[in-house]
Structure 1
Amino acid sequence: MPHAHWQKPVQVTFGNLGTEAVSGPSEALAVLADRWPELKGPHFVKARSVCRAALDGRKTPEEARQQFEQAVSEAQMHVN
């Protein structure tokens, strides 16, 4: 399920760097690994885990989306 997509992409704002639409757990993992700010709290850790589980079929893509949104909130980044 590596190409699983969410029903609605998550718009994440990276301050002055602009906004990015994240449309699935694979893209979310890339953002968490490559573009995340220094703050890496418990929601960040859980988002990585749930996104991996969604790619393996152990969680749904929508469960990954919910956890990714919580990580974005934890990092005080804007979610649409």
Structure 2
Amino acid sequence: MWDEPVEVVIGPDDHFKSIRGSREALAYLMTCWPQKGGDSFALAKRACMEAAEGRGDPSTAASAFRAAANDAGILR
């Protein structure tokens, strides 16, 4: 679990979802992400995978996910 959730906008009606941890972020990246590919997406995917497997830092994963969401235009 992350210290603070990262909120992302989903759908055209500006609904949002709170992502609370690396596993949830990884699942979101793989299934719902609007723009797969790109540097920030790849960094977030790797950071979240490593944190979910216990090999990486959760705060690094949260920061990478936040940056990727910002780049994708879905950060709330």
Asked if TM exceeds 0.5, the reply is yes
Report whether the alignment pairs 1:60 with 2:57. yes
Gapped runs of 5+ residues in structure 1?
none
Deviation at 1:76, TM superposition (A): 1.3
Alignment partner, residue 7 of structure 2: 11
Alignment deviations for residues 20-61 of structure 1 (CA, whole Å, 9 cap, x no partner): 000000000111011111352111011010101111222111
Deviation at 1:7, TM superposition (A): 0.9
Gapped runs of 5+ residues in structure 2?
none
Q: Distance in 2 between matches of 1:78 and 1:63?
A: 17
AA of the residue aligned to 1:76: G
How many residue pairs align between the two structures?
A: 75
Query: TM-score, normalised to structure 2's length?
Result: 0.88
Q: Distance in 1 between matches of 2:36 and 2:55?
A: 27
Alignment partner, residue 69 of structure 2: 72
Report whether the alignment pairs 1:37 with 2:34. yes
Alignment partner, residue 23 of structure 1: 20
Alignment partner, residue 48 of structure 1: 45
Query: TM-score, normalised to structure 1's length?
Result: 0.84
